[in-house]
Amino acid sequence: MDVKSAMTRARRGLREERRLYVVAVTSLAVAFLCLGATLLGVTNLDAAATRWGHSGRITLFLKDDADPQDIAQLRVVLEGLGDVSEVTHVTPEQARASFLEEADVGADLGSLPSEVFPASLEVTLVNGVTRERSESIASRLGQFRAVSDVESYRGWFEKLDHLLWGARMLAAGLALLVVFCVVAVIGNTIRLAVARRRQEIEVMKLCGATNGFVRGPFVLEGMFQGFASALLAVLALLAGYLALHEPVDSTLAALTGSRIVFLSAWTMLALLLGGALIGAIGSALSVRRYLSV
Amino acid sequence: MQGTKVVRPFPFFRAGARASQPQLSKPILVLEDVYKFFRPDQPTLRGVNLLVDRGEFVFITGPSGAGKSTLLKLVYRELTVDEGRVLFCGRDIGRLTDGSVPFLRRNLGIVFQDFRIIDHWTVFENVAVALEILSIPQRLIRSRVAEALERVGLAGRGPEQTSNLSGGEKQRVAIARAIVPEPALILADEPTGNLDPHLAIDILTLFEEINATGTTVLFATHDHSLISKRDHRLVAIDEGRVVEAQKGLKHWPGSGIHTLVG
């Protein structure tokens, strides 16, 4: 196939069928936008999970009657561990004050006495400690006499894992749906274009054009439609991100400690190239049946 | 496409290649006992034998529905024979794979009654398409298209939109497209069918000029006024059988034109 000639003919085809292609590209851009938005959600959940996973914490709740010497000894042990970066002793009064400040509760709970809140040791782990390692440290610390309970936030991580798994499944399902939409829409668009250019195909075939020569411009047109739709979706997503990330970012940072991230360069590249590839496949499939002249 | 390998039957089938001396001595087209059925009990062509030498001008005639177009379609492989063989330059084209058919058609120029030119393309684009298929450089395409347009009397009209041309001019564009790749054989299927008698003679003369440069021409027509004006070899198809005369109607073996075209 002569690529230069195919590109010239594809340009001519795009020019002649521009209205049809504008409608197709717009419809496909919506499909890609749904996929892009889901991927953006997954990317951000991933980023949050990674951040939380890396900034590991363990809370050791102390017995009400714990001996201060035992607590001091426990602190020494903790500070000697290579995986621990910081240990903070939180007294019942500090716990109560922190609760009232963060929870924004009414006057009813404000009257709770300090004794309701147990004293604790907040253990911050160094970056990069795996969840398994964190679990193993937590179970060993639970055996100390002064410790009544250990919170390793395993439940949180499990919930987050479930959420991530669900989001990934949703993204995969949407990706499949988008592939189907792209193949169907581009296939039908190209089929319409082929029907309108049937005489051209017939003339070319009678002049000795190979199937590749005839198919070439249609494949390029499909490729362009897929690429343009994906590009439009990425640009729309970027515009939305730029418009919203400042107000959303501060809220999210306060709530979760992480900031919104945009799709990675690789994800964007995969969306654009994937769009082009699916477009090419869709048009190659739809033009096949018109080649028997 | 069948998915089988593409056979490029012999060098002559490649664009721009010239026939070798042994090939030049062979007839360009041979039909051997060809049968074509569209209905099992009624063959459109029955036992057709025909031999066309290189450089000949042959009229193919017969009433409408006699099988003229079918015969030509067998040559450019839009149809395949049910029995017998069609040999182009010695090669049985019925046995070519689908992938090889384009290489056969690159050696043929085909002209139709309904012109089959693309109205929203320019004259130049309509002619150039036959060379673009051969991946010829644009510079060469420009010069060869200009030359072809000059031969058909449309010099300098390349940029014009084809939709603005008259019927005769459209047919000239179609002829330019057929001759621009310098094919070995031109198949003209009722090329004057949509033209008035004066224009029909002009177009016939154009084909004769092309034939004078060495190109073989098969000219299918049912217009006996055209046939009667020339002394070319005449092949008549009637009820699927072929009768022929070497020197036009004057030497026709039957009892006159009416036995010929019905």
Distance to chain A for B262, nearest Cα, Å: 31
All residues of chain B having their beta carbon less than 8 Å from the beta carbon of residue A16 are 120
A267 and A183, same domain (yes or no): yes
Distances in Å between the alpha carbon of A100 and those of A103, A123, A126, A151?
5, 22, 29, 21
The residue in chain A having the minimum alpha-carbon distance to the alpha carbon of residue B3 is A211
The residue in chain A having the minimum alpha-carbon distance to the alpha carbon of residue B131 is A207
CB atoms within 10 A of CB B67: 27
A223 and A163, same domain (yes or no): yes
- Contact between chains at B102 and A203 (C-beta distance less than 8 A): no
- Contact between chains at B99 and A208 (C-beta distance less than 8 A): no
> Which amino acid does the sequence have at A80?
G
Distance to chain A for B234, nearest Cα, Å: 26
> Does residue A47 carry a pLDDT above 80?
no
Is some CB atom of chain A closer than 8 A to the CB atom of B17? no
- Among A205-214, A247-256, B80-89, where is mean pLDDT lowest? A247-256
The residue in chain B having the minimum alpha-carbon distance to the alpha carbon of residue A208 is B102
Q: Are the C-beta atoms of residues B186 and B108 closer than 8 Å to each other?
A: yes
Distance to chain B for A262, nearest Cα, Å: 45
Mean pLDDT of B70-94: 93
Q: Cα–Cα distance between A234 and A231 in angstroms, integer?
A: 5
Token pair belonging to A185: 């829409």
Residue B74 is predicted with a pLDDT of 95
All residues of chain A having their beta carbon less than 8 Å from the beta carbon of residue B1 are 211, 291
Distances in Å between the alpha carbon of A169 and those of A35, A52, A185, A261, B102?
12, 22, 24, 20, 48
- Which of B102, B116, B120 shows the shortest C-beta gap to A203? B116
Q: pLDDT band at residue B9, thresholds of 50, 70 and 90?
A: very low
Residue A104 is predicted with a pLDDT of 57
Does a structural domain hold residue A212? Answer: yes
Segment of A4-18, A217-231, B248-262 carrying the highest mean pLDDT: A217-231
Pick from A12, A202, A203 the residue to mutate for testing the B interface (most B CBs within 10 Å).
A203
> Does residue A290 carry a pLDDT above 60?
yes
A75 and A218, same domain (yes or no): no
A199 and A271, same domain (yes or no): yes
A173 and A281, same domain (yes or no): yes
Using a 10 angstrom Cβ sphere, with 0-12 exposed, 13-18 middle and 19 or more buried, the burial of residue B117 is buried
Q: pLDDT band at residue A71, thresholds of 50, 70 and 90?
A: confident
A235 and A177, same domain (yes or no): yes
Q: Cα–Cα distance between A55 and A198 in angstroms, integer?
A: 63
For chain A, the maximum distance between any two Cα atoms, rounded to a whole number of angstroms, is 98
Summarize pLDDT for A133-179 with one digit per residue, the tens: 888 888 888 888 888 888 877 777 778 778 878 888 888 888 888 88
What is the residue whose two structure tokens read 């150039």? Answer: B128
Q: Of A152, A175, A208, which residue is a domain's last?
A: A152
Does a structural domain hold residue B170? Answer: no
A178 and A41, same domain (yes or no): yes
> Does residue A29 carry a pLDDT above 80?
yes
Q: Which of residues 71-130 of B touch A (CB under 8 A)?
A: 76, 78, 99, 102-108, 110, 116-118, 120, 129-130
Q: Of A88, A119, A152, which residue is a domain's last?
A: A152
- Contact between chains at B177 and A207 (C-beta distance less than 8 A): yes
> Does residue B245 carry a pLDDT above 90?
no
Summarize pLDDT for B202-223 with one digit per residue, the tens: 999 999 999 998 899 999 998 8
- Which of B108, B120, B133 shows the shortest C-beta gap to A213? B133
Pick from A197, A207, A213, A214 the residue to mutate for testing the B interface (most B CBs within 10 Å).
A207
- Contact between chains at A293 and B78 (C-beta distance less than 8 A): yes
Does a structural domain hold residue B43? Answer: yes
The residue in chain A having the minimum alpha-carbon distance to the alpha carbon of residue B102 is A208
Distance to chain B for A288, nearest Cα, Å: 9
- The number of domains in chain B is 1
List the domain range (segments joined by +) for residue B260.
Answer: 23-107+216-262
Does a structural domain hold residue B235? Answer: yes
Q: Of A152, A186, A207, which residue is a domain's last?
A: A152
Q: What number of C-beta contacts closer than 8 Å exist between A and B? A: 53
- Among A76-90, A128-142, A171-185, B14-28, where is mean pLDDT lowest? B14-28
- Which of A2, A199, A206 shows the shortest C-beta gap to B76? A206
Question: What CATH code is carried by the domain that includes residue B61?
Answer: 3.40.50.300
- Among A103-112, A270-279, A282-291, B175-184, where is mean pLDDT lowest? A103-112
Does a structural domain hold residue A293? Answer: no
* Phi-psi group of B153: left, alpha or beta (phi > 0 → left; psi -120 to 50 → alpha; rest → beta): left
A146 and A169, same domain (yes or no): no
Summarize pLDDT for B109-142 with one digit per residue, the tens: 999 989 999 998 999 999 999 999 888 888 999 9
Distance to chain A for B189, nearest Cα, Å: 13
- Contact between chains at B105 and A206 (C-beta distance less than 8 A): yes
Does a structural domain hold residue B173? Answer: no
- Which of B103, B118, B120 shows the shortest C-beta gap to A208? B103
Question: What CATH code is carried by the domain that includes residue A121?
Answer: 3.30.70.3040
Does a structural domain hold residue B125? Answer: no
- The number of domains in chain A is 2
A40 and A169, same domain (yes or no): yes
A173 and A284, same domain (yes or no): yes
A203 and A141, same domain (yes or no): no
A168 and A226, same domain (yes or no): yes
Does a structural domain hold residue B32? Answer: yes
> Does residue B33 carry a pLDDT above 90?
yes
Token pair belonging to A187: 């296939």
Does a structural domain hold residue A74? Answer: yes
- Which of A203, A208, A210 shows the shortest C-beta gap to B118? A203
Residue B254 is predicted with a pLDDT of 56
Would you list which residues of chain A are within 8 Å, Cβ to Cβ, of chain B? 2, 5, 16, 199-200, 202-211, 213, 291, 293
List the domain range (segments joined by +) for residue A145.
Answer: 57-152
- Among A6-20, A39-53, A58-72, where is mean pLDDT lowest? A39-53
CB atoms within 10 A of CB A236: 16
pTM, two decimal places: 0.70
State the ipTM, two decimals.
Answer: 0.84
Does a structural domain hold residue A210? Answer: yes
Q: Which 3 state secondary structure label does DSSP give A59?
A: strand
DSSP state of A271: H
